[in-house]
């Protein structure tokens, strides 16, 4: 079966994937889930479309050259972009991470440049599509992808189709309400899953507790880590798997930039008493080491994720829920409470037919998902 899959994937047409991130843009030539080449660029300080788009076009050409391919051999270009966007017209609106972008007709601009089919889709949807076609979701017709990293996003596949809603906004799973008396989320809603369980908010809760004077033990732990890290170049102590961009962000550095500055000022001899800011990874490590505040924050996030998963099970009755993103790499500490909430609360029938698994595509999910758009829209069996 697996050999058949591989043989079939050898027959797939070449595609170009573009993963449009806030700080980094990746391009690749792919055949199915296989990256034949990849070329990345940093958005830099001036990401205005007029300046950035020509650089992306060049990156695509470089990726083609590196793969030894020509445009004529490519079935299309798939672009994974931050929302909000209109997947039907390929216009992206004002993504918070790309300053100066306002109603950019990405699909038409790329089509004018390359004269091959171009599809644009929300990046969480494409990641879900990638897992559906080539990752943990293969063979499932009803599937939910939930990515928990700095934010929380979702991609829902129903009967083999991406669930779009009336204007492509379906699947904002990070913004389902978990605590309706909770805190205000960035999106404007209250008590969203993201506002409780994203990496950013796990860190925020820890830092708020520290500022309120409740985090002495966590601070001591963080300081010890900081001292340790200044002598150890590789700071990745926890095993990482599926290190997508957000995972790298979560795992590559124990401390936030302000921590680095603090470390610098210590060695420079000038002591400014700036509070130490911890990130989600420090909180996770502290929780593993038994620091009560950290354990409580992770436990709370885990239960919120569990409640979110129950909601997903009840709304979509999926066969499989795929968890991606750095926060989900925390392991049993996070997953056991979440799965227990499912056992305790979800309805029997949908609960017994769902599997909750880890994502498989790792760091390349953005590019594989973007490329998958071509197979998806052209009905090419993978």
Which chain residues interact with Zn ion by CB under 5 A? 175, 185, 187, 189, 192
Least separation, in Å, of the C-beta of 314 and Zn ion? Answer: 19
Q: Residue 201 or 279: which CB sits closer to Zn ion?
A: 201
Q: Residue 151 or 306: which CB sits closer to Zn ion?
A: 151
Q: Residue 65's CB: how many other CB atoms inside 10 A?
A: 13
Least separation, in Å, of the C-beta of 174 and Zn ion? Answer: 6
Distance (Å) of CA 31 to CA 9, 21, 71, 97, 191: 7, 22, 14, 29, 41
Least separation, in Å, of the C-beta of 124 and Zn ion? Answer: 14
What is the C-alpha to C-alpha distance for residues 328 and 323, in angstroms, rounded to an integer?
7
Least separation, in Å, of the C-beta of 193 and Zn ion? Answer: 8
Cα 168 → chain centroid: 18
Q: Residue 88 or 184: which CB sits closer to Zn ion?
A: 184
**What burial class does residue 118 get, using C-beta atoms within 10 Å of its C-beta: 0-12 exposed, 13-18 middle, 19+ buried?**
buried
CA 161-167-169 angle, to 5 degrees, is 75
Least separation, in Å, of the C-beta of 151 and Zn ion? Answer: 9
Q: Residue 107 or 125: which CB sits closer to Zn ion?
A: 125
Q: Residue 79 or 193: which CB sits closer to Zn ion?
A: 193
User: What is the enclosing helix (H) or strand (E) of 342?
Assistant: helix 332-345
What is the C-alpha to C-alpha distance for residues 294 and 283, in angstroms, rounded to an integer?
5
Least separation, in Å, of the C-beta of 272 and Zn ion? Answer: 35
Q: Convert 271-309 to b/e letters by CB count within 10 Å (16 or more is b).
A: eeeeebbbbbbbbbbbbbeebebbbebbebbbbbbbbbb
Q: Residue 226 or 304: which CB sits closer to Zn ion?
A: 304
């Amino acid at each position: 079966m697996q050999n058949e899959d591989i043989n079939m994937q050898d027959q797939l047409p070449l595609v170009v994937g573009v993963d449009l991130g806030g700080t980094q843009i990746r391009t690749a030539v792919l055949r199915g889930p296989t990256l034949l080449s990849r070329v990345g660029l940093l958005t830099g300080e001036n990401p205005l479309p007029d300046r950035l788009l020509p650089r992306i076009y060049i990156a695509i050409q470089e990726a083609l050259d590196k793969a030894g391919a020509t445009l004529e051999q490519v079935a299309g270009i798939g672009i994974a972009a931050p929302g909000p966007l209109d997947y039907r017209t390929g216009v992206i609106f004002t993504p918070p991470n790309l300053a100066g972008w306002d109603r950019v007709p990405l699909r038409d601009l790329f089509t004018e440049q390359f004269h091959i089919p171009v599809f644009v889709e929300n990046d969480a949807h494409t990641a879900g599509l990638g897992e559906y076609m080539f990752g943990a979701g293969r063979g499932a017709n009803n599937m939910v992808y939930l990515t928990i990293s700095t934010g929380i996003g979702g991609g829902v596949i129903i009967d083999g189709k991406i669930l779009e809603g009336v204007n492509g906004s379906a699947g904002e799973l990070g913004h389902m309400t978990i605590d309706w008396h909770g805190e205000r989320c960035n999106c404007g809603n209250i008590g969203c899953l993201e506002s409780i369980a994203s990496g950013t908010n796990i860190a925020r809760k820890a830092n708020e507790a520290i500022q309120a004077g409740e985090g002495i033990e966590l601070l001591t732990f963080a300081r010890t880590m900081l001292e340790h890290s200044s002598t150890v170049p590789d700071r990745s102590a926890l095993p990482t798997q599926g290190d997508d961009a957000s995972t790298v962000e979560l795992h590559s550095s124990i401390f936030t930039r302000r921590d680095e500055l603090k470390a610098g000022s210590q060695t420079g001899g000038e002591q400014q008493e700036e509070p130490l800011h911890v990130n989600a990874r420090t909180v996770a490590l502290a929780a593993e080491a038994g620091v009560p505040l950290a354990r409580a924050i992770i436990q709370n996030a885990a239960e919120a994720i569990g409640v979110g998963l129950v909601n997903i099970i009840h709304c979509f009755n999926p066969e499989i829920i795929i968890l991606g993103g750095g926060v989900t790499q925390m392991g049993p500490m996070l997953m056991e409470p979440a799965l227990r909430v499912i056992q305790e609360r979800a309805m029997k029938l949908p609960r017994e037919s769902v599997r909750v698994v880890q994502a498989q595509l790792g760091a390349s999910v953005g590019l594989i998902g973007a490329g998958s758009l071509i197979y998806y829209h052209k009905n090419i069996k993978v």
